[in-house]
């Protein structure tokens, strides 16, 4: 099924490459009265939050649009942030692969100073705000250089922002461009941010549960993103962005009807919202394998997996920004060793400064218990950064212990690997809650884990691993079923495909 989708897309790529070829564009701009061959090229611009979880799906979405319709070409505006070498590596790998996408680095601005923000979301939001001028100039340049003086065959049609880049809606408005929101987290979280301002006064009460239209169950306070309770600015940044979502002309969500029917219905019911298009799952299935900074490690991991039998490995990975305290790492090691199942563990060192990403350990001696690596050499592999999608695609992987970032959840469903939830930051606790309580698609290790405040004991890790590897047939069956629905939704006449086609109609109609 996947192959069919890929084939369809690649034939379109070929077409779209033809259409932007200089000779062809000269050809199509000639007046040809007999055949209506004149094709307006439609330029789309994308601006994502400079964090991998937001950036990668937005780039893939831009890719999808340009492949789906040969009239589209796209420019992705890139915001540079300090201490994020991974983003540079990612973009370098993309620029070298030729597609209908262009990447444009915006000139840097002075970042906000620590007295101006209290949270990472505050930092990002202010940083984006400071880029408004730069974006405006970039857009004006695109309009000028892209439009040949003698014809109007190129048209800048829309600007796509994401959950934290809403400041750019102002720039689009100034230039009379429609803006759209691309939301890389689930529909449930979109509904949460939209409803947050209505319960703001209750947040300081001792309420332990809250009703949100996008969740069937009451939502325990313990799964709210920590940011919401930040005393200095509370939930105001999230609500601020959510208010702006309503100003867009459409909201694209990286999800599918079949996965989040309730949350999506609650959004459709909201008369203040523009049209909502669930068009997922949008995945980068090559993932970091394409630009992995550590090719040797990648090879070692894949060779190790090749030697394991089907569904025999517990895979533990906590995301590009996830790392755990040393005490917690020791408990996991203890539990894995006691459980005795095969494991692949992506273990990363916590960042030393705020706003930095975790790094690979140069040496595990200080973090893993004495002799752990030697004693488990036969059954386990501890490594740093992994190309997660490639690992999930491997038949040897039986269970995924995950931080529940939305992209990871979608990848895991795609490859039909059941998740055991271990959320760490951002909206991951809420994603875990949705998967376990709302959808029955994952097994709970924790829903409300906070590193440094909570400790999952080795015995618990052992018990969970045993439970997961010895059965959970019902969940396995449901995950397999949802995995098939994910693939169906992208095929011709599938729900996400149909929504994508409507979006394209809207983008090309003006
Ligand atoms: C609080 O958040 C709002 C966004 O809604 C922002 O405009 C304001 O400057 C923030 N205040 C502080 C003190 O950070
Ligand atoms: C959507 O609206 C309909 C009609 O008012 C209502 O019956 C339904 O419960 C709503 N669904 C959600 C998920 O909000
Ligand atoms: C898609 O739907 C159209 C209209 O309902 C139908 O004619 C066509 O056969 C369908 N195509 C596939 C591949 O199911």
219 neighbors 202 (Cβ within 8 angstroms): no
Atom of ligand 2 nearest to the CA of 262: 13
Ligand 2 binding pocket includes 270 (Cβ within 6 Å) = no
For residue 361, give both structure tokens: 């350990």
Q: Say how many Å lie between the CA of residue 50 and the centre of ligand 1.
A: 20
Residue 173 dihedral angles phi and psi, to the nearest 5°: -60, -40
Task: Give the pLDDT of residue 295.
Answer: 84
Task: Give the pLDDT of residue 148.
Answer: 56
Query: Could you give the CA distance from residue 187 to residue 192 in angstroms, rounded to a whole number?
Result: 9
Q: What is the mean pLDDT of the chain?
A: 87
Atom 13 in ligand 1: which residue has the minimum CA distance? 233
Ligand 1 binding pocket includes 236 (Cβ within 6 Å) = yes
What are the residue ranges spanned by the domains of the chain?
4-280+490-508, 295-486
pLDDT digit string (tens) for 451-488?
888 999 999 999 999 998 987 889 999 999 999 999 99
Task: Give the pLDDT of residue 205.
Answer: 77
Q: Say how many Å lie between the CA of residue 188 and the centre of ligand 3.
A: 30
Query: Could you give the CA distance from residue 63 to residue 428 in angstroms, rounded to a whole number?
Result: 26
Nearest ligand atom owner, CA of 493: 3
Query: Could you give the CA distance from residue 21 to residue 32 in angstroms, rounded to a whole number?
Result: 18
Ligand 2 binding pocket includes 269 (Cβ within 6 Å) = yes
- What is the percent of the chain where pLDDT is above 90? 65
166, 236, 245, best to mutate for ligand 1 pocket (most atoms within 8 Å of CB): 236
Task: Give the pLDDT of residue 336.
Answer: 96
**Which residue matches tokens 């992994």?**
386
Task: Give the pLDDT of residue 117.
Answer: 87
- Indicate the range of 61-65, 96-100, 252-256, 313-317 predicted with least confidence: 96-100
Ligand 2 binding pocket includes 325 (Cβ within 6 Å) = no
Query: Could you give the CA distance from residue 177 to residue 170 in angstroms, rounded to a whole number?
Result: 10
**Which residue matches tokens 């052992």?**
462
pLDDT digit string (tens) for 270-307?
999 999 999 999 999 887 777 666 888 899 999 999 99
The dihedral region occupied by 351, where left means phi > 0, alpha psi between -120 and 50, and beta the remainder, is beta
Task: Give the pLDDT of residue 365.
Answer: 79
Atom of ligand 3 nearest to the CA of 491: 13
Q: Return the biggest CA–CA distance within the chain.
A: 80
Q: How far is CA 510 from CA 23, 28, 354, 375, 504, in A?
A: 26, 20, 45, 65, 11
Instruction: Give the 3-state secondary structure of residue 212.
Output: coil
Q: Say how many Å lie between the CA of residue 342 and the centre of ligand 2.
A: 46
For residue 177, give both structure tokens: 């461009």
pLDDT digit string (tens) for 357-405?
777 887 887 889 999 999 999 999 999 888 899 999 999 999 999 999 9
Ligand 2 binding pocket includes 213 (Cβ within 6 Å) = yes
Fold of 4-280+490-508: Rossmann fold (3.40.50)
Atom 11 in ligand 2: which residue has the minimum CA distance? 266
CA nearest to 245, candidates 212, 279, 265, 273: 273
pLDDT digit string (tens) for 114-167?
888 888 889 999 999 999 999 999 999 988 876 555 455 678 999 999 999 999
Task: Give the pLDDT of residue 84.
Answer: 76
Q: Where are the alpha helices (DSSP H) in 434-472?
A: 458-469
Ligand 2 binding pocket includes 111 (Cβ within 6 Å) = no
Confidence of residue 19 (pLDDT cuts 50, 70, 90): very low
Ligand 3 binding pocket includes 492 (Cβ within 6 Å) = yes
493, 494, 500, 502, best to mutate for ligand 3 pocket (most atoms within 8 Å of CB): 493
Residues in a beta bridge with 400 = 315, 419
What CATH number does the domain located at 295-486 have?
3.40.50.2000
Atom 1 in ligand 2: which residue has the minimum CA distance? 269
More confident: 165 or 23 = 165
The secondary element (H helix, E strand) that includes residue 375 is: helix 372-375
Query: Could you give the CA distance from residue 414 to residue 391 in angstroms, rounded to a whole number?
Result: 12
Q: Say how many Å lie between the CA of residue 273 and the centre of ligand 2.
A: 15
The secondary element (H helix, E strand) that includes residue 251 is: strand 250-253
Task: Give the pLDDT of residue 41.
Answer: 86
**Three-state helix/strand/coil letters over 379-410:** CEEEECCCCHHHHHHCCCEEEEEECCCHHHHH
Confidence of residue 27 (pLDDT cuts 50, 70, 90): very low
Fold identical between 4-280+490-508 and 295-486? yes
Nearest ligand atom owner, CA of 262: 2
Residue 24 has pLDDT above 50, yes or no: no
Query: Could you give the CA distance from residue 461 to residue 442 in angstroms, rounded to a whole number?
Result: 16
Nearest ligand atom owner, CA of 494: 3
Q: Say how many Å lie between the CA of residue 494 and the centre of ligand 3.
A: 10
Ligand 2 binding pocket includes 266 (Cβ within 6 Å) = yes
64-67 — which CB contacts under 8 Å span 24+ positions?
Answer: 64/9, 64/279, 64/282, 64/500, 65/504, 65/507, 66/16, 66/99, 66/100, 66/101, 67/9, 67/10, 67/12, 67/13, 67/16, 67/99, 67/100
Task: Give the pLDDT of residue 98.
Answer: 54
Nearest ligand atom owner, CA of 501: 3
Q: Say how many Å lie between the CA of residue 218 and the centre of ligand 2.
A: 16
**Its pTM surpasses 0.75:** yes
């Amino acid at each position: 099924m996947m192959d069919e989708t890929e084939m369809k897309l690649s034939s379109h790529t070929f077409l779209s490459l033809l259409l932007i070829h200089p000779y062809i564009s000269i050809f199509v701009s000639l007046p040809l009265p007999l055949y209506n061959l004149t094709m307006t090229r439609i330029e789309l611009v994308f601006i994502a939050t400079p964090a991998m979880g937001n950036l990668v799906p937005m780039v893939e979405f831009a890719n999808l649009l340009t492949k789906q319709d040969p009239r589209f070409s796209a420019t992705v505006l890139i915001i540079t942030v300090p201490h994020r070498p991974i983003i540079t590596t990612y973009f370098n790998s993309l620029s070298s692969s030729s597609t209908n996408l262009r990447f444009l680095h915006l000139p840097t601005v002075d970042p906000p100073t620590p007295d101006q923000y209290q949270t990472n979301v505050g930092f990002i939001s202010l940083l984006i705000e400071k880029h408004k001028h730069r974006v405006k100039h970039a857009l004006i340049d695109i309009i000028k250089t892209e439009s040949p003086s003698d014809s109007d065959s190129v048209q800048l049609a829309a600007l796509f922002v994401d959950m934290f880049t809403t400041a750019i809606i102002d720039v689009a408005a100034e230039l009379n461009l429609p803006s759209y929101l691309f939301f890389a987290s689930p529909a449930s979280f979109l509904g949460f941010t939209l409803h947050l301002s209505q319960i703001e006064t209750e947040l300081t009460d001792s309420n332990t549960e809250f009703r949100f239209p996008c969740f069937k169950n009451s939502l325990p306070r313990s799964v709210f993103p920590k940011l919401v309770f930040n005393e200095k600015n509370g939930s105001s940044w999230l609500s601020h962005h959510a208010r702006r979502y309503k100003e867009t002309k459409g909201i694209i969500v990286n999800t599918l009807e079949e996965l989040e029917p309730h949350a999506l219905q609650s959004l459709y019911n909201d008369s203040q919202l523009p049209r909502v298009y669930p068009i997922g799952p949008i995945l980068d299935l090559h993932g970091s394998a394409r630009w992995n900074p550590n090719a040797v490690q990648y090879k070692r991991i894949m060779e190790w997996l090749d030697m394991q039998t089907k569904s025999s490995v517990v895979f533990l990975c906590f995301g590009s920004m996830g790392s755990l305290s040393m005490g917690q790492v020791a408990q996991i090691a203890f539990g894995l060793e006691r459980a005795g199942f095969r494991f692949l563990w992506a273990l990363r060192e916590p960042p030393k400064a705020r706003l930095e990403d975790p790094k690979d350990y140069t040496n595990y001696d200080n973090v893993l218990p004495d002799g752990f690596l030697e004693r488990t050499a036969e059954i386990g592999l501890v490594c740093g950064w992994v190309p997660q999608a490639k690992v999930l695609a491997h038949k040897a992987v039986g269970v995924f212990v995950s931080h529940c970032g939305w992209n990871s959840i979608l990848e895991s469903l795609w490859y039909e690997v059941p998740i055991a939830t271990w959320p760490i930051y951002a909206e991951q606790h809420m994603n875990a809650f949705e998967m376990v309580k709302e959808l029955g698609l994952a097994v709970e290790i924790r829903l409300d884990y906070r590193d440094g405040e909570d400790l999952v004991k080795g015995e618990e890790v052992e018990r969970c691993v045993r439970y997961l590897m010895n059965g959970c047939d019902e969940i396995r069956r449901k995950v397999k079923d949802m995995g098939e629905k994910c693939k169906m939704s992208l095929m011709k006449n599938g729900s996400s495909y149909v929504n994508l086609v409507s979006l394209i109609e809207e983008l090309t109609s003006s």
